[in-house]
Structure 1
Amino acid sequence: MQQDKHPDYHPVVFRDRAAGYAFLTRSTARSEQTIEWDDGRTYPVIDVEISSESHPFYTGKARTVDTEGRVARFERRYGGADAGEQT
């Protein structure tokens, strides 16, 4: 097996600035900034703009925007939920 082929894999804290949430995981990412974690140790910290704590899909705040009436146009062309009722 070849030595020194893989990058250093170490504990890193990822901090979501939008949600005020941080989690400790393992990664190859590097950072000059550090943070003291709950266990009393110091880990490198990487600030991210969005994570599962603030992403609309995971928080349930995602919306489907139908700006051009695409759903209505589709239902007119191909029949909507009440297509079986038309004679």
Structure 2
Amino acid sequence: MKRNIHPDYRPVVFRDPGAGVAFLTRSTVTSRKTVTWEDGHVYPVVDVDVSSASHPFHTGRGRVLDTAGRVERFRRRYGTR
């Protein structure tokens, strides 16, 4: 790797305020906000809108699309004539 062209790869806290969940991982993202983590160290924090704790797919609150209705409507419009 070339030196001095890559961003710093360091521990960062990602926080989902809507779900009340935060997790510590490593990233190159930058932030001016900081938080004191459970281990007593201060880390930059990034607030995210959606995480696995609040995404409908992971929580089971997702909508079911009516794919059968779409297929039938397609066949009525463009089916064999």
User: Please, what TM-score do these two structures have when normalized by structure 2?
Assistant: 0.79
- Is the aligned partner of 1:40 residue 2:40? yes
Which deviations, in whole Å up to 9, do the C-alpha atoms of 1:27-56 show, x marking residues without a partner?
Answer: 011111100000000000011111000000
Q: CA deviation at 1:5?
A: 2.2
Is the partner of 1:26 in helix, strand or coil?
strand
Q: How big is the shift at 1:73?
A: 6.4
1:9 corresponds to: 9
Q: CA RMSD in A?
A: 2.1
Percent identity between the aligned chains? Answer: 57
Is the radius of gyration larger for structure 1 or structure 2?
A: 1
Paired residues in the alignment total 75
Structure 1 unaligned runs (5+)? 79-87
CA distance in 2 between partners of 1:55 and 1:11 (Å): 24
> 1:72: Cα distance to partner?
4.3
Q: Distance in 2 between matches of 1:29 and 1:46?
A: 8
Name the CA distance, whole Å, in 2 between partners of 1:42 and 1:73. 52
Where does structure 1 differ by over 4 angstroms across 4 or more consecutive aligned residues? none
Q: Residue 49 of structure 1 corresponds to which residue in structure 2? A: 49
